[in-house]
Amino acid sequence: MDSEWIFAEKLPVDDADPKALLTKWANVAEDMALVPALNVRMRAEGGYFVVEVSPELFEVFRNA
């Protein structure tokens, strides 16, 4: 797996449910036949939840 991650979404911590946000992107990965744990990650940074995806998920998503 490539170590690079690609920005997918950013939401304010005060306005977002982190579990729902991560679940949404995990479902996208599953729909693309990819393992969510290897293709989606989320972190808190500067008052935001930031979702990043693997290059593999990004390419599949972009070409869909």
Q: How many CB atoms lie within 10 A of CB 28?
A: 20
pTM of the shown model: 0.87
pLDDT of residue 2: 47
pLDDT tens across the length of the chain (64 residues)? 446 999 999 999 999 999 999 999 999 999 999 999 999 999 999 999 999 999 999 998 777 7
DSSP conformational letter for 3 = S
pLDDT of residue 63: 77
pLDDT of residue 50: 97
pLDDT of residue 62: 78
Distance in Å from the first CA to the final CA of the chain: 21
E strands, the chain, are: 6-12, 40-45, 48-53
